[in-house]
């Protein structure tokens, strides 16, 4: 049977998708821009549901099904949608996991149905995981191999085709290994470019002072990483490498300014490696091999590889740049909760702090604003003790060799803690 015939045989409509689900079922889905939004929206049409459990993270949209009390959503990383649903009393819970533990979780407690977004099929019958390899690739492949489970794809013409490492599956799956597919043309989740505040600009200036030509970089998401990239693009530094769970708009700024060569990484030289991308359509267009800009320079790989501290540590001068909420006098950092309120998650911060520690010349930078203003009152983020419920991400700085820098509005220099 030809690839196109296989494709057509496995194509189903949205009602058939619902028919394949059970009254009591367990599903998992990819995160952010890789979420199959058409399939998740369709879950609100389930009629015979008794109990459905959905494991996910960094929700792209407030899907109507998540207000159904019979659906339990479990997120490994809270974003704005999870916070809103949780604050509103819906059935949303947080599962504490480092990002490289997502795959381990779904393999230990395997969902019967695994869903993700794939690109259009190429002439050889392959579909790309595009900008979202992370914890989507391995669970989807494994579900497709198991006759008692389902691997259901949302094939989206707007999902970029992004190459991967051949030894890790090349970020693609053959149509014969997909159980069912639904077609979509829904736009991908975008993260707009952000304008930094004056405090964030000062923090970014301090971060740039800690970087050197030839460093291998990992950035988080938000105004500070984007601003750091803008500043770096205007310096004489260059020859940077990138090995990062996430690439966003700042990465594209560095690529366009010629600052990234990946020639001094010590591993995967000449290549940028990432687990998922979240940015503007301009970033997605750059990554898409169909447009000719990427040309195999930027590769997607599973998070179990990208975020493996042992792999991270093999890179030369690995520098992780992330953020936190508060730090106490002993050097402990709270990066995921505000008191008892879950705000984000463990994410990949711990993975990269540990990996950077063991990297030759490696180091970590944590960006924390010195104060926060709540209801017109100014509070310090440098405290003698955390408020009840605060979650400690990183233990004593002596154990992690982190250098914690804070912006003070009272001083032009960032005091060292």
Catalytic residues, which ones?
Answer: 245
User: Is the CA virtual torsion 126, 129, 133, 137 positive or negative?
Assistant: negative
Burial classification of residue 12, based on how many CB atoms lie within 10 Å of its CB (0-12 exposed, 13-18 middle, 19 or more buried): middle
Tokens 């691997």, residue located? 151
Q: Of 79, 135, 83, 69, which is closest to residue 105 (Cα–Cα)? A: 135
Task: Write the DSSP symbol of residue 260.
Answer: B
Look up residue 232 and give its two tokens: 């770096």
By the 10 Å C-beta count (0-12 exposed, 13-18 middle, 19+ buried), 331 is classed as middle
d(CA 48, CA 99): 34
Read off the DSSP letter of residue 132. B
Do strands 113-118 and 24-29 pair parallel, antiparallel, or not at all (unpaired)?
parallel
CA 67 to chain centre: 24
Tokens of 129: 């995981």
Contact between 417 and 406 (Cβ < 8 Å): yes
Say if CB 188 and CB 37 are below 8 A apart: no
Q: What's CA 38's distance to the chain center, in Å?
A: 20
**d(C-alpha 333, C-alpha 361), whole Å:** 23
Say how far apart CA 240 and CA 260 lie, in whole Å: 5
Cβ burial, residue 238 (10 Å; 0-12/13-18/19+): middle
Burial class (CB in 10 A: 0-12, 13-18, 19+), 28: buried
**Chain Cα centroid distance, residue 401:** 25
């Amino acid at each position: 049977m030809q690839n196109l015939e296989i494709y057509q045989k496995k194509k189903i409509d949205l009602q058939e998708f619902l028919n394949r689900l059970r009254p009591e079922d367990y599903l998992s889905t990819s995160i952010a821009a890789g979420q199959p939004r058409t399939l998740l929206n369709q879950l609100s049409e389930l009629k015979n549901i008794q109990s459905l459990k959905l494991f996910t993270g960094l929700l792209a949209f407030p899907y109507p099904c998540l207000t159904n009390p019979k659906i339990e959503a479990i997120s490994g990383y809270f974003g704005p949608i999870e916070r809103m649903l949780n604050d509103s009393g819906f059935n949303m819970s947080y599962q504490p996991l480092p990002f490289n533990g997502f795959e381990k979780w779904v393999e230990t407690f395997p969902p019967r149905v695994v869903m993700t977004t794939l690109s259009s099929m190429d002439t050889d019958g392959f579909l790309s995981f595009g900008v979202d390899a992370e914890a989507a690739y391995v669970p989807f492949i494994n579900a497709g191999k198991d006759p008692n489970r389902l691997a259901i794809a949302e094939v989206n013409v707007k999902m970029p085709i992004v190459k991967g490492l051949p030894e890790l599956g090349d970020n693609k799956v053959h149509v014969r290994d997909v159980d069912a597919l639904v077609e979509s043309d829904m736009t991908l989740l975008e993260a707009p470019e952000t304008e930094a505040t004056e405090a964030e600009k000062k923090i970014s200036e301090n971060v740039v002072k800690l970087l050197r030509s030839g460093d291998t970089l990992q950035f988080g998401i938000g105004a500070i990483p984007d601003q750091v990239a803008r500043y770096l693009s205007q310096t004489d530094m260059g020859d940077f490498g990138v090995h990062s769970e996430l690439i966003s708009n700042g990465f594209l700024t560095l690529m366009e300014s010629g600052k990234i060569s990946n020639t001094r990484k010590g591993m995967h030289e000449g290549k940028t490696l990432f687990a998922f991308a979240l940015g503007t359509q301009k970033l997605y267009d750059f990554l898409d091999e169909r447009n000719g800009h990427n040309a195999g320079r930027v590769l997607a790989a599973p998070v179990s590889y990208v975020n493996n501290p042992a792999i991270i540590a093999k890179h030369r001068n690995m520098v992780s740049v992330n953020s936190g909420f508060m730090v106490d006098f002993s050097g402990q950092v709270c990066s995921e909760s505000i008191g008892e309120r879950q705000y984000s998650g463990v994410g990949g911060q711990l993975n990269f702090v540990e990996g950077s520690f063991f990297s030759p010349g490696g180091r970590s930078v944590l960006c924390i604003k010195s104060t926060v203003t709540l209801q017109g009152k100014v509070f310090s983020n440098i405290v003698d003790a955390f408020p009840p419920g605060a979650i400690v991400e990183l233990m004593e700085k002596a154990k992690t060799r982190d250098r914690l820098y804070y912006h003070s509005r009272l001083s032009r220099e960032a005091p060292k803690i």
